[in-house]
Amino acid sequence: MLPLEEALGEMVASVCPLVPLRKSLLESDGCVLAQSCVSNRTKPPFDTSAMDGYALPSTPLAGKRFEVVGEVPAGGMFDGFMEQGHAVRIFTGAPVPDGAKHIIIQEDVERHGDTIAIKDGMGKGANIRPRGGDFVQDDLLIDAGVSLTPQHLALAASGDHASLLVHPRPRVAILMNGDELALPGIASPDTAIIASNGYGLAALAKRFGADVVSVDLLPDDQSRIEAWITTTEADVLLTVGGASVGDYDLIHPALDAVGFDVRVPKVALRPGKPTLLGFKGAQTVLGLPGNPVSSMVSAIVFLRPLIERLASKDPYPLLQLDEGKLGVGLAENGPRAHFMRAIHDGDGSLVPVESQDSSLLRLLADADVLLYRAAHAPAANTGSKCSFLSLPQ
């Protein structure tokens, strides 16, 4: 068994960020920008009105009158040069006419036919947004290496970009394996075990930033497992079950048969010892145990840093632990790192759920966190500090 920290380090060191691809803005949310985004145009491209009102050639004075000689809607243009004593009706976003020095808002004037009079107490701001006030052509908008947010995408669009060069979201394919399994919602014998793991794992992968391309179920048939491995187009193959050493545990033999390098056959992890890591070219396989809680815990621990590394994000720290306080005493831990399902009690202390049996999904759903116990951790008293891993919400 490889210690947990070494297994995580081996995994991250064995994979590289995915090759950048050009993606539409709609597909780029959350991706890491691979090439700096530079503006293709100036924004705004001309002096624009910040308000609905009237463009005037001089600073308005209370009681002064102006003749309205035209109108400029957004997208329009005033043809000519404004003279003293003239006003042009203008709307937010419209180009400021040549000769205009001030936009007075419509609430600060009284209009009678083609004449406006300035009210007392009018605003003093010019209400003109200057050309290039946001950015000019060839300005740097977003640095390479930034994880794109909705705000970044809006900025890129305003700089006249319809697509960006990004590190794409990793593609994850999930295989549940076992003769005893049946899909939920389909008539099956009472002796069948409903395959639940893949659905929780798919949701985890999405929360960690991946695209899930498939969730499949196969029986204990090595040739079919080998065919799935070799034909599935994904960056991460997430297998569930069959990763141990029993007669019907066929994942490791299938990976060997199709040329995967299985560098981590077991991890000193509880629950989750039968977790394996294999690599072939740009593909990674994360083989998870079949027990539902074991597979979820192993995925929470391994899948987040793996997906972040592939997506060119910073996966460190590999274990994102927070600090808490124990609500009960704990015995010394054994040779495997232990992630215990736990809840916060009334004063915020952490208390393990009543059973740590790795088949009990209900207690995982009830838990708030995974209480972390390092390998060979000594006994801990009530009230002492502890570490925990937050469960994805």
- Residues 295-345 have pLDDT tens digits of 999 999 999 999 999 999 999 999 999 999 999 999 999 999 999 999 999
Q: CA-to-CA distance for 9 and 4, rounded, in angstroms?
A: 9
Q: What is the mean pLDDT of residues 68-90?
A: 92
Percent of the chain, pLDDT > 70? 97
Report pLDDT for 120. 77
User: Quick check: 126 pLDDT over 60?
Assistant: yes
* CB atoms closer than 10 angstroms to residue 107: 11
Q: CA-to-CA distance for 156 and 141, rounded, in angstroms?
A: 7
Report pLDDT for 393. 85
User: Tokens representing 158?
Assistant: 């305003």
Q: CA-to-CA distance for 156 and 144, rounded, in angstroms?
A: 13
Report pLDDT for 190. 82
Longest dimension (CA), the chain: 96
Q: What is the mean pLDDT of residues 356-361?
A: 91
Q: What is the mean pLDDT of residues 158-168?
A: 98
User: Quick check: 380 pLDDT over 70?
Assistant: yes
Q: What is the mean pLDDT of residues 123-139?
A: 92
Report pLDDT for 244. 65
User: Quick check: 209 pLDDT over 80?
Assistant: yes
Q: What is the mean pLDDT of residues 82-91?
A: 93
Q: Where residue 60 falls among pLDDT bands split at 50, 70, 90? A: low
Q: CA-to-CA distance for 334 and 311, rounded, in angstroms?
A: 35
Q: CA-to-CA distance for 296 and 47, rounded, in angstroms?
A: 57
Rounded to 5 degrees, φ, ψ at 297 are -65, -45
User: Tokens representing 383?
Assistant: 């009230």
User: Quick check: 59 pLDDT over 80?
Assistant: no
User: Quick check: 248 pLDDT over 60?
Assistant: no
Residues 6+ apart with CB under 8 A from 89: 54, 68, 70, 71, 72
3-state secondary structure of 310: helix
- Residue 57: DSSP 8-state: S
> Which secondary structure element, helix H or strand E, spans residue 362, and what is its range?
helix 361-366
Report the relative pairing of strands 86-90 and 53-56 from DSSP bridges.
Answer: antiparallel
Percent of the chain, pLDDT > 90? 83
User: Quick check: 223 pLDDT over 90?
Assistant: yes
Q: Where residue 15 falls among pLDDT bands split at 50, 70, 90? A: very high
User: Quick check: 245 pLDDT over 70?
Assistant: no
Sheet of 109-112: strands edge to edge? 102-105, 53-56, 86-90, 65-72, 115-118, 109-112
User: Quick check: 247 pLDDT over 90?
Assistant: no
Report pLDDT for 80. 87
Q: What is the mean pLDDT of residues 99-110?
A: 92
Picking from 112-126, 191-205, 212-226, 349-363, which range would have the lowest pLDDT averaged per residue? 112-126
Phi-psi region of 178 (alpha: psi -120 to 50; beta: other; left: phi over 0): left
Integer angstrom CA distances of residue 333 from 68, 91, 244, 270, 390: 85, 71, 23, 10, 20
Q: CA-to-CA distance for 82 and 101, rounded, in angstroms?
A: 10
Q: What is the mean pLDDT of residues 101-122?
A: 89
Q: Where residue 148 falls among pLDDT bands split at 50, 70, 90? A: very high
Helices and strands counted in the chain (H then E): 7, 28
Residue 70: strand pairing partners: 88
Are residues 140 and 152 in contact, defined by beta-carbon separation less than 8 angstroms? Answer: no
Q: Where residue 346 falls among pLDDT bands split at 50, 70, 90? A: confident
Give per-residue pLDDT as tens, 171-197: 999 999 988 899 988 878 888 888 999
pTM value is 0.88
* CB atoms closer than 10 angstroms to residue 334: 13
Q: Where residue 234 falls among pLDDT bands split at 50, 70, 90? A: very high
Q: What is the mean pLDDT of residues 26-35?
A: 97
